[in-house]
Amino acid sequence: MKYHFLGTFGALATVIGIAATTVRADVSFSIPSGADSGQESPPSTAGSTPNQANRNLQSTRTPAMNSSELTTYNLVNRYRQSRNLPPLVADPAISAQAKAHSEEMARSSTMSHDGFNQRADSVSKTIVYRSAAENVAFNAGHGQPELVAVKGWIASPGHQRNMRGQYDLTGIGVAQNAKGEYYFTQIFIRKAWYVKDAD
């Protein structure tokens, strides 16, 4: 499911764009190609112990964020807390995927969700999850690009749904290109309450 909103606001040099997508994983621990069932499968606990599940649910290290990423992360969590939702925990594996996508968008000057299934698949190699979603944004000509991106997400039903979703983990990547355009990617992950059996 995709939501797109592109437009210009204010001066001609001031632009903003946002887009969101959501995909749900099935109990086979992967995202079916092009799937968006709209319903979640009940979690399975087969083959896992409480200790295994707990290890799976914990983020082990704090990701290194640049100042734009940290500001965006804090703004999103403040918004969630204003809606009585728990803050999202930043995860380095998810952030690495978000950062790589933002850098690619900045290089091509194109905002998109291209490769989202691959990013989610990469995350699934270290985190067993139930659902994943992504918000992206770009803007230029703003003094506070992070605030503009997050306000744009809040003002859009699809993006806001991702921000308010039942997610636990997040990764944020922000990149700026030579044109002064900022590109944002935020990936949302809802962890599964089971672990993948070893092959």
Quickly tell me which residue has 């979703």 as its tokens.
165
| C-alpha 182 chain-centroid distance | 16
pLDDT, tens only, 6-22: 322 222 233 455 555 54
Local confidence band at 193 (pLDDT 50, 70, 90 cut-offs)? confident
pLDDT, tens only, 165-175: 999 999 999 99
pLDDT, tens only, 108-152: 999 999 999 999 999 999 999 999 999 999 999 888 999 999 999
Give the three-class secondary structure for 172.
strand
pLDDT of residue 194: 65
Local confidence band at 195 (pLDDT 50, 70, 90 cut-offs)? low
Tokens of 184: 């944002």
d(CA 65, CA 45): 34
- CA-wise closest residue to 188 among 76, 104, 35, 62: 76
